[in-house]
A = this chain, B = another copy of it.
């Protein structure tokens, strides 16, 4: 289980792979929609499948607080809760503890915080993060890591790197031990998370130490937090050297089509982001020709679909004018329809990326797509 096989290589470091999980094989590079609290917001699993999604993500932080990991286990696990039979990944909760939790107390042992929902005190340790994820039962679990703020100094980031590495070891030990009662009976993979901010020496230190743990996959954490496109690319320039070619590499929280293209060219295999659904709720559509802001008055009488070449449910049935109306009237269906289109766009985008890697035209088409999607003035 969790075999990762490279199926095609490009002239860049881009690669196609297949990643085997207990809930099916996924083709990489892959984009995973985010199902925060057990649902990709506003989208049924049927709609997710129809939009081309193959693997989704659940947020440990949200699920541990509500309904609680033990409750999810008693309801049959996260696959059952989400009514999703395909592969799933859960994060460790660390990122949200650092972005959403109040009154954090960080120690070598773990991190204590106040729930943003009811103010209760919660302790998250590496062992508890694994236990929660065993109760949730996703195919891929993530280690608990410390996410320093984007403006942290080299010394602060170095501390976070070393603590995250210590936590990776403790997560590996917990993962190797007997799972708690109620945990999934299917095998689960554990991925380590590289930290190090934009400091390439720390990134290298973090990555190499993780590789020594010989985990089923490696994630690049702490990027897409405001550092900008080029600093992200600089960090990613090193990953093909740091991580073994035989393991999947997952860039957490990314995201923007331009970042995905840059990361694929540098050897990244997996992505996740809330953009398709968050922007969907704001009536902002992704297309091959940039973003379309559907609340814009110029769409009022537009009988064309969001994208006339798109085959998604939304584009087959609704005009821009109708979607603008639904958005202005704050109808839930508007959010659902634009989310469906965006999810379809991301699945389609990654499918094109995979095809061009196989055709060895990725580098060239990637440039063309960048120009199309991000012209000097890119928003309609």
Contacts and interface: CB of A to CB of B under 8 A. Distances in A.
Interface of A: 37-39, 41-47, 62, 66-67, 71, 74-76, 80-81, 83, 300-301, 303, 313, 317-319, 321-322, 324-326, 328-329, 331-333, 335-337
Nearest to A301: B74
B66 A328 contact: yes
Contacts of A321: 67, 71, 74-75
Contacts of A322: 38, 75, 80-81, 83
Given A71-B321, A321-B71, A331 B39 contact: yes
B331 A332 contact: no
Copies in the complex: 2
A318 B83 contact: yes
A317 B83 contact: yes
Contacts of A303: 74-76
A37 B329 contact: yes
B39 A80 contact: no
Contacts of A317: 45, 83
A75 B332 contact: no
A47 B332 CA distance: 14
Nearest to A340: B44
Given A75-B301, A75-B319, A336 B332 contact: yes
A41 B330 CA distance: 10
A33 to B, nearest CB: 13
Contacts of A301: 71, 74-75
A155 B150 CA distance: 73
A370 B324 CA distance: 43
A325 B66 contact: yes
Most chain B C-beta atoms within 10 Å of own C-beta, residue among A38, A329, A335: A329
Contact of A335 (B37, B62, B332): B332
Given A332-B41, A336-B42, A76 B325 contact: no
A74 B75 CA distance: 49
A15 to B, nearest CB: 35
A118 to B, nearest CB: 11
Contacts of A319: 75-76, 80
A71 B325 contact: yes
Contacts of A329: 37-38, 62, 66-67
B43 A328 contact: no
A326 B44 contact: no
17 contacts: A37-B325, A38-B325, A39-B333, A41-B333, A42-B336, A43-B333, A44-B333, A67-B300, A67-B321, A71-B301, A71-B321, A74-B301, A75-B319, A75-B322, A83-B322, A332-B332, A332-B336
A169 to B, nearest CB: 33
Nearest to A39: B333
A43 B44 CA distance: 11
Nearest to A75: B321
Given A41-B331, A44-B333, A71-B300, 14 more contacts: A42-B333, A45-B317, A67-B321, A67-B324, A67-B328, A71-B325, A75-B303, A75-B319, A75-B321, A80-B319, A80-B322, A83-B318, A83-B322, A332-B335
